[in-house]
Amino acid sequence: MTAMMKTYVTFRALRWLTWIAYLIYCLAFLADRSSHLNQFGHLIITTELVLFGLPTAAIFLGFFEMMTRERAGLAKPTLGQLLPGKDTQPKLNQFAGR
């Protein structure tokens, strides 16, 4: 396994862990809403950062995952496939013979 493939798998695992952490935090928020609100009924800053930061981080990790997949020359994975095979289609942004 090359270094770029390891980076790809790392970004993919981090993306999924970030989405799972977000869903768990949402369930914790729904279970005990009062501990996440101040006396005026507004979200406290840490809850707000987690509820908006985790999905944003997951989206950017997805961007980095796609970027490293392209650089590694891997095919788009199917659902449930951890390591995709090499991409057999030629890339449009590479110039042959130059």
Residue 17 scores a pLDDT above 90: yes
Residue 97 scores a pLDDT above 70: no
> What total number of domains does the chain contain?
1
Residue 78 scores a pLDDT above 80: no
What domain range includes position 12? Answer: 3-72
The answer to whether residue 89 sits within a structural domain is no
Residue 2 scores a pLDDT above 80: yes
CA distance 21 to 75: 27
Q: What is the pLDDT of residues 28-73, one digit of tens each?
A: 999 999 999 999 999 999 999 999 999 999 999 999 999 998 888 8
CB-based burial, 73-96: b 16+ in 10 Å, e otherwise: ebeeeeeeeeeeeeeeeeeeeeee
CA distance 87 to 3: 17
The answer to whether residue 56 sits within a structural domain is yes
The answer to whether residue 15 sits within a structural domain is yes
The answer to whether residue 33 sits within a structural domain is yes
The per-residue pLDDT for 96 is 56
Contacts of residue 93, defined as CB under 8 A and 6 or more positions apart, other chains included, come to: none
